[in-house]
Homo-oligomer: A and B are copies of this chain.
Amino acid sequence: MTGTIEAAGPDIAGVLNRLADAKPAALDRLFQLLSIPSISTDPAYHDACVQAAHWCAEALRDIGFEARVEATQGKPMVVGHWRSSHGSASPMHVLFYGHYDVQPPDPLEEWDAPPFAPRLDEDPRHGTVIVARGASDDKGQLMTFIEACRGWLDVAVTVLIEGEEESGSPSLAPFLSVRGEELKADVALVCDTGQWDENTPAITAFLRGLAFSEVTIAGPSRDLHSGIYGGPARNPIRVLTDILAELHDADGRVAIPGFYDDVKEPPAAQREQWRALGFDSDGFLGAIGLTEPAGERGLTVLEQLWSRPTAEINGIFGGYTGPGTKTVIPAKATAKLSFRLVPDQNPRKILEGFRQFVESRLPPDASVTFAGEGGSPAIGFDPATPAFAATAHALSEEWGKPPVIVGCGASIPIVESFRSKLGMDALLVGFALDDDRIHSPNEKYNLRSFSKGIRSWARILGELGKIDGHDRA
């Protein structure tokens, strides 16, 4: 640990008291944001995304930020600046990143109440919880930071809130190319991850990457009657299922040639640390109705999640999908796939391997098209930097125990962009829990996650403000 952390900071107790007084108003503000159906993957909700962007900008201005909404090719960006009044010559400067867009709420019929009518509910395990699409991912988390800024700001803060995180962030790289200088800071803060458990904070030091693609198999020139043509006619659903069934071998490994070429085995020490965490695999799987790890044979659940890439079919459709029966042989069938990646795997190379894998398996009279490709590599961070250490210290103060340094199976593409485009590392601190049901019906965020999240960020901002200028990198 090379950072210089002062023994005594500013008046943290006063800050926390001010935040406690503001709690009902903070919850009211979060509910306002949760009421906006800002689904970025569905064009029907474009206006709601724009509305959410303006709401965020206004929330920042209300605190004293200079904030604006800036159009992109897709959903608009929100950018806000707060200049520190810190006495030191060159205060610490952080860039906070969050996203105002949310996942589609379908299947709607599995929600107990409308997904964009936020409400408080009592959970037998967690007490009061906030229920809505985006309650956890990422509106609730985003607002923990913004509300903390109300308490104090002893560092310079830039805020960037995008609206396409759930759509693969297509506008982010172009935006960083144009606005990189404006956005560059000493370190990025990202609140889109989870705690180790409800009483233990975590800093995420390792994130899987992502590559995704949509594959469509075409066969006959039109939909056919399966009686008149069944037998001789090529069925694209069958072609698709035949090919997808070859995507994994009998040991659960991805069968695309070269898929594992750049994958490193995690060091023995890292494996040992993960085993020492006492992770409850049975509980993790049991909470989602499962009993056995379905990934690569011989690996633990944490190893499968944090150190191994995957290939998943996220959606499939073709032919007749309505009620009842329709004896059709369809003209085409489609699957949406994504690959979780580990460090050194190149998303472009993975997608190229997938294309070749499919193309090499096409039978006569079947053709293939690929659409919607995108992705970002995996990434890891060094826990020994001053900002990392200051953040860990602040979390220890709030939670009474040090944060666990974890990996995460999910991807946050922005983190890779911050490093590759702006040369900036990120601190991934979040207060989500594994059972928040993000991307699922009845998504929730514990009220305690919200209030202690706000307090945690207030402490982190305080600790970051103590770092000497020359120690920031």
Contact = CB atoms under 8 A, between A and B. Distances in A.
Interface in A248-266: 248
Given A241-B316, A322-B106, A308 B231 contact: yes
A239 to B, nearest CB: 9
Contacts of A222: 110, 288-289, 437, 440-441
Nearest to A294: B234
Contacts of A338: 226, 230, 325, 327
Contacts of A167: 324-325
A140 interface: no
A374 B210 CA distance: 43
Interface residues of A, number: 100
Given A231-B304, A304-B231, A323 B225 contact: no
- Which of A166, A233, A295, A296 gathers most chain B CB within 10 Å? A233
B314 A333 contact: no
Contacts of A310: 226, 230-231
Nearest to A409: B227
A272 to B, nearest CB: 20
A256 to B, nearest CB: 15
Work out how many copies of this chain go into the complex.
Answer: 2
A118 to B, nearest CB: 20
A133 B425 CA distance: 60
A322 B42 CA distance: 8
18 contacts: A41-B325, A41-B326, A166-B326, A220-B289, A221-B290, A222-B441, A225-B440, A228-B438, A229-B288, A231-B305, A233-B285, A237-B316, A241-B245, A314-B319, A314-B325, A315-B319, A315-B321, A328-B440
B228 A409 contact: yes
A408 B227 contact: yes
Contacts of A334: 321
A150 B80 CA distance: 80
Contacts of A227: 208, 210, 340, 408-411
A298 interface: no
B314 A439 contact: no
Nearest to A230: B310
